[in-house]
Amino acid sequence: MADKIHFDLVSPERMLLSEDVDMVTLPGTEGYLGVLAGHAPTITGLRPGVIEVKGGSTPDLKLFVRGGFAEIDPGKVVVLAEEAIPMGDFDIAALDQRIQDTEEDLAAAKTDAERGRVAEELDHLRQLRAAF
């Protein structure tokens, strides 16, 4: 039996998940990284993407994160996520409508700062849509 690693997922509001798992795959700023028990100590930023959790109480749990940070030790992974949403909780039609609305907001943006903010939000939504 493979060693387990403890995984904590924390959002600004609350602890979302805390359990022992077989493996966690994270969307690091340099690319996806797989974390098993015994991993070298690491701190990394997270980009928008999907966290995959194997061997926990929910088989093959997938969560979309908008970004954040991860602290990895040989026996523990702590993710501080800006936002984390289980992939099963998404309404695809509502997501597609939100993308369309955000595209319209981008076209209507009047300042560079507003365009930058809306473009970043649109990029996150498109990455989320690509995960399906």
Q: What domains appear along the chain, each with residue ranges and CATH number?
A: 5-87 (2.60.15.10), 91-130 (no CATH)
Q: Which two tokens stand for residue 70?
A: 């991860």
Are the CB atoms for 20 and 56 separated by under 8 Å?
yes
Which is it for the CA torsion 78, 84, 90, 93, positive or negative?
Answer: negative
Whether the CB-CB separation of 86 and 92 falls below 8 Å is answered with: no
Share of the chain above pLDDT 90, in %: 60
Which whole number is the average pLDDT over 113-127?
89
Quick: pLDDT tens for 22-80.
999 999 999 899 999 999 999 999 988 899 999 988 888 999 888 899 999 999 999 99
Q: Which residue is listed with tokens 């959790």?
A: 53
pLDDT value at residue 82: 87
CB atoms within 10 A of CB 41: 8
Q: Is the pLDDT of residue 132 over 80?
A: no
Angle at 60 between CA 41 and CA 71, to 5 degrees: 20
Average pLDDT, the chain: 90
> With a threshold of 0.85, does the pTM exceed it?
no
The pLDDT assigned to 83 comes to: 85
Q: What is the pLDDT of residue 1?
A: 47
Residue 2: predicted pLDDT: 66
Which of residues 70 and 132 earns the better pLDDT score?
70
Sign of CA dihedral 128, 45, 9, 20: positive
